[in-house]
Chain A
């Protein structure tokens, strides 16, 4: 599988420069992705859940991802650089990959279907690349521990924009964000 975005991580946004429209069978290979940064975690009192807020460099796109309490905890520990006395699940996950020198190259939030996000983790191991399906919360928690970039398919960002949630998020004041927001 062609994962060109991995080869050019400097590209913040990749667009189709050719005049040819994408052919359907090539769509999976030529997805457009944007690098996102984990801006922080918020508590959503209405759903009693946490929201991981991803934003692109220019702050023009925002991608909120709802996660559970323990998943939020795993991400927050990384954001705050907390080293737990015992390895938490994602520290263990990282050790598992480290044991054989497998590296997380990047993670991509790939799909949104019925309010559920899907992600892929790209690994490099012994000169081969592997793509593993994951929940975005696991992918992000692992990316933060591995200093790997987080990308989102533009289709996911676009889909998200069309939902009312964004409006709700846009109306949030900075003070509604947790202390993790920078």
Chain B
């Protein structure tokens, strides 16, 4: 990312949106991020239905008759000549992820706090890269997607892990 040596925890690993999974009978969607550099790794993020749909619209490059919320943010950026540089999933507290959107305008860089769903939704539309810090990858919960999926395939479909990762 930069010439300055960062501590390893702050290294940024680039991910892409792989797919959006629907959870049957719940108001929840799972955004599955996949690592870009060839290392096999998926990173699931549980989001609300509306947030999941906003990401899905961008992922499917659906054109909506009216601008959706994140199209509007992109439109603000275009009008004001703000460049959306990257989004970073930068923190996790109590199984909740926190994201930062990096923007620039005439050489002035700013960061904006966001939910990962808003950050990802905007990143797909900008478009700009999506990163996860090494620190967040180290500290993510051990419940991985495969385990969750295998559970989903069984008859016992509960929702205890909806807010976990």
Contact = CB atoms under 8 A, between A and B. Distances in A.
A complexed with B: yes
Interface of A: 68-70, 86-90, 92-93, 95-97, 99-100, 102, 116, 118, 121, 123, 125, 130, 132-135, 138
B96 interface: yes
B76 A102 contact: yes
A87 B115 contact: yes
A86 B99 CA distance: 10
Interface in B120-135: none
Contacts of B80: 100, 102, 123, 125, 130
B138 to A, nearest CB: 22
A138 B72 contact: yes
A121 B73 CA distance: 12
Nearest to A102: B80
Which secondary structure dominates where chain A touches chain B? mixed
Contacts of B50: 68-70
B151 interface: no
B67 A70 contact: no
Given A134-B72, A135-B67, A92 B48 contact: no
Interface stretch (B38-46, B106-114, B154-162): B106-114
B98 A86 contact: yes
A95 B102 CA distance: 12
B7 interface: no
Contact of B66 (A118, A123, A125): A118
Given A87-B115, A99-B112, A102-B80, A93 B73 contact: yes
Q: Which 9 A-B pairs have the closest CB atoms?
A: A70-B50, A99-B110, A130-B79, A92-B114, A95-B112, A92-B118, A135-B66, A89-B69, A134-B72
